[in-house]
Structure 1
């Protein structure tokens, strides 16, 4: 993880004022590389690089320059096969470091831009070739590492993040409302999207994965070129068993290569098959620190339980962070800082949680600079197939859903009158074959996920990790793995890609991972059954000071109806499930980015200014037997010895839960009336059944929160005395 900025002029030498601007650009993103800043300024070029030192901590400074200083190279990322690539060099070189990135300089010297075909890794690379008078800006095959640019007839500027470009005086700073409002994912439109990757800012170009731009410095032109295309992966004719075996071997190889580091390595362990498989292979080679979340959602969906099982099975140095929406208090300024870090309307509760999980990991072990994650497995292995076929768990049902996505994508391309005809018949007038899509719907779906990987998954993971001086690595996005999966013949899709069967079968057959971990169904991350608590957390941020954030986002906007947004917010607030809060958040994000890009007053907060989730010890819970999570309504709920419930005077809608006389939880009846009522009735005598019946509550109303409270050792259940009946305890 590093930061790149650069300026190349076409006519005149770089001035001192432009050097100052370039240094401001690097300063804006210096959290990407806190271990050192380096500059190359000469004639018409000025480059800056901030480094997060991971490999060859002492000698890996950049830019890299060849012997006659005719080629200048900067690399953000990792080239995992750099040792093997040394054998491809046409002549011996005296390497100045052990850095994996230095190989890019000498490969380019020998092979020109075709050297990209040799690379295995994640990278954003800039190359200035003074002899050929060309500048190359390059992205890895999946756009894992970011790189943006702004081009005029006089100069080109480029940087790892958009906010850095804004520090250059004549760079445009206009939020592109049309692009944002037209984005099908942001709008929640049930459709595939294969539109080009963008930046959400006018004049700021985002280089797509598998592409590079070639800037001809003689004639001042920019051309986009492709060196890898996900839609052109050749079909192979391997048997199912051969594919599965090869897939597991490639995954082990990729996971092992991602361990390349001179610093400590961590793993985000959800307890799902993706993170468990990476942990399994990584644990063979190094000590792993695992980081997991304990929250209402992860208790209900089983993530906390299975993360503990996996951590104990592999003897990870496990760490569990306590995420509680009642004690996590974020200001509007906190949200602004997070949004500016992410610089995308997609910023949501997931980014808030993951940012703090990164911070928790860094605080727990300051030497950690690398975190392994499971990004990419769901997208390219059929991880969402069960979600799309929930009522009828079968490949055919999954395909029916994908046909709908495909049809909607094509409808988006067609003109409005055709929409009108189809809508008259409730969407049933035109069959799928009318649209003549040339690919199998599954492939079209995967190509859409390829865009999501670039515009959401990798983009967001990069930013929230960078904000904590950490680099995320993604073993499932090795291009060899993806090419194997995409080269599968169509008649094998159902066997291999329904519910990630390619991964599950392979792990069962070729590893000793416990079957209970391999066969565990996929669950939503922070959503699913616990979605209401997540939505409450975001609502509490948005509604601060009577929705002050809406005024900030739109008070200078002359084409958005701000009264309508306030009304929409109030409607959501009064809805039991806080439905549509995600859309409100995205829209507010758009307005805030518009505002922030124009005044540039917001800065990314230093990580020391952000609160750290507390660590929680869950070793004592016998999760494997689920004893603590069993609810018997004839039992009496009692508070643990060090727990008290307090109701403040003159605030009859609030309850405080204290642990060792310290307030740890706040329960507001306006947010969760059922749980508030249940807590207020706990007296050590009434059974659960008594409390429910006397207050007209249902067990389902409070079950999730009660399970969490038992899990966190706040409440315990005691059997009722045999000589007493529930009715006698009123």
Structure 2
């Protein structure tokens, strides 16, 4: 992994602009740097050396120099692709991503269909005069861009772009209403995120966006509800291969252990690989017993026999690191767990670990979230017992994902009440201009006519996993400490297999991940396989109000809130009063931690252009 940046079009070789962009990516690539520039395009890289540390500096070029490549990511099937190209191309390194430049010589941009990996790259075809910007199917690796007159800037972080500064209100509204901001939206006016499974073609005639992959479940009538999956061993075998691929590294590898099934399965499979470079395991632990999973983490650590680092996340640590987590996340946060992710990455880096494997992706493809169970319960109700859906809710569903019959986790009435309470009176008057429930966030063609489980899976991937779990919660936190995250459950073969498994074998009755548990039972301790799902959580804003009140007061001073003009100072103070009440239990589950969003937005806004007004822009 690394950071890439560049400018295409007007003033392509502007050294000062490129220097500033590169300066914003040092944490993503501390090991080496490189650039290419001509009179039309400039491409640069900051490298985190993982495969072929000595020979893998970028940019890479084709033999004749007509193709120039910078890439952030890992190509897990590079050895197989390289063998296919043997004898026809000259490689100057053993680095995995070099294969992209030579594949392009043979296949053009159709090479994307051949890649198994996580990547964001810029490839300059000097002969045809086109720069391709491409992002992997699930958006594991970030890639941002901004128009600049006749040109276009791109970078691995939004803040590295000269255009980043003003806050975009529709992006903020997405954070309030959805699990996170949704690509191509960002929190910065004029800055967009390349959508997962998409590429941009930048030429002198303009910019064209092309979709090359999307999650596409079969129609409901073609979906077998249940039946026996032929062999849970096939699923285990696919996961074992995915783990082995992601252990390819010339740098030390670590494992994150949450104490749950998904990370445990990845860790146990990694331990089976004889040539494994795994050196440590890492876990987040909490002082509050209701948040802590220490017994299961320690059980797994003993089973693996590796040095284990529990990393305690206290209110003091959240107070210390929350602003840094927000700075790297580049969005307001709905929870403080990003601080735990940041602390884990810091611990990994401290042990010399540059790569960590985690369990993200299992919940989305094996019905792991509680929403899948709630959908099944609703579907079992007789039609006459299902409550009617308000018209404004139906309109929002149609606008956002093109299917009014499916609600996901949307509650328009509750969101309206929350925003009427939280937003300033000045902002409320312009809410129709940026109300995210009136605009598309997902492709309705991939939702309409699908099985309810597949509808939720698609929306979980698009609205929760990509920009939140893999984005602000994942890549941005690991790379803040120059550590790369890898995700075996998002392997192409694992996903293809998961999509073919009948829904009734993922959710059996009210038991989530049924078939995954069957597979895991062969290698994971039974106590972990059979335990009730424990959602990732961390101390919320109620804990901070109780244990770090001065910290909260300093950030949420009424004068600061009024200067920003986004949130109502009185409403914020009422939330704080609720949490100060001795009768309030700070462990009370909250659907949305509104005060955490306000607090972290304030941090984001103060670190951006505090004097600039917030605005909404059309993409």
- State the TM-score, normalized to the length of structure 2: 0.81
Out of 488, 509, 512, the position equivalent to 1:475 is 488
| C-alpha deviation, 1:196, in angstroms | 5.4
1:20 partner SS: helix
1:283 partner SS: helix
Structure 1: any 5+ residue segments left out of the alignment?
Answer: 424-435, 602-730
Give, in whole Å, the separation in 2 of the partners of 1:548 and 1:195.
26
Give, in whole Å, the separation in 1 of the partners of 2:379 and 2:250.
44
Output the aligned Cα RMSD. Answer: 3.4
CA distance 1:137–1:496, shift in 2 (3 Å): farther
Residue 312 (str. 1) matches residue 302 (str. 2): yes
Per the alignment, residue 178 of structure 1 pairs with: 170
1:296 partner SS: coil
Q: Residues 495-514 of structure 1: matches in 2 within 5 Å?
A: 495=508, 498-508=511-521, 511-514=522-525
2:501 partner SS: coil
Out of 199, 206, 210, the position equivalent to 1:225 is 210
CA distance 1:36–1:197, shift in 2 (3 Å): same
Out of 66, 73, 76, the position equivalent to 1:77 is 73
Give, in whole Å, the separation in 2 of the partners of 1:538 and 1:467.
27
**Larger Rg: 1 or 2?**
1
Give, in whole Å, the separation in 1 of the partners of 2:567 and 2:535.
33
| C-alpha deviation, 1:437, in angstroms | 4.7
Q: Deviations over 1:530-567 (max 9, x none)?
A: x57x7414764564273444457534324543333333
2:216 partner SS: helix
Q: Deviations over 1:400-433 (max 9, x none)?
A: 79x9999996441469xx99xx98xxxxxxxxxx
Give, in whole Å, the separation in 1 of the partners of 2:92 and 2:242.
27
Q: Residues 211-610 of structure 1: matches in 2 within 5 Å?
A: 211-217=198-204, 219=205, 221-231=206-216, 240-242=228-230, 244-285=232-273, 286=276, 287-297=278-288, 299-300=289-290, 303-325=293-315, 328=317, 330-331=319-320, 334-346=321-333, 348-363=335-350, 365=351, 367-385=352-370, 389=373, 395-396=376-377, 410-413=394-397, 437-451=448-462, 452-460=464-472, 461-489=474-502, 492=505, 494-495=507-508, 498-508=511-521, 511-526=522-537, 535-537=542-544, 540-541=547-548, 543-544=550-551, 546-551=553-558, 554-558=561-565, 560-574=567-581, 576-578=584-586, 582-598=593-609
Per the alignment, residue 96 of structure 1 pairs with: 92
| C-alpha deviation, 1:492, in angstroms | 4.9
Give, in whole Å, the separation in 2 of the partners of 1:463 and 1:552.
31
Deviates more, 1:559-568 or 1:271-280: 559-568
Give, in whole Å, the separation in 1 of the partners of 2:380 and 2:342.
35
CA distance 1:554–1:405, shift in 2 (3 Å): farther
CA distance 1:354–1:242, shift in 2 (3 Å): same
2:5 partner SS: strand
Q: Given that residues 556 and 602 in structure 2 are in contact (C-alpha distance below 8 angstroms), is that contact kept between their aligned partners in structure 1?
A: no
Q: Given that residues 258 and 283 in structure 2 are in contact (C-alpha distance below 8 angstroms), is that contact kept between their aligned partners in structure 1?
A: yes
Give, in whole Å, the separation in 2 of the partners of 1:505 and 1:487.
16
Q: Given that residues 453 and 503 in structure 2 are in contact (C-alpha distance below 8 angstroms), is that contact kept between their aligned partners in structure 1?
A: no
Structure 2: any 5+ residue segments left out of the alignment?
Answer: 414-446, 613-619
Give, in whole Å, the separation in 1 of the partners of 2:476 and 2:318.
22
CA distance 1:547–1:398, shift in 2 (3 Å): farther
CA distance 1:572–1:214, shift in 2 (3 Å): same
Q: Given that residues 361 and 368 in structure 1 are in contact (C-alpha distance below 8 angstroms), is that contact kept between their aligned partners in structure 2?
A: yes
- State the TM-score, normalized to the length of structure 1: 0.69
CA distance 1:404–1:24, shift in 2 (3 Å): farther
Give, in whole Å, the separation in 2 of the partners of 1:377 and 1:443.
14
| Greater RCO, 1 or 2 (C-alpha within 8 Å, sep 6+) | 2
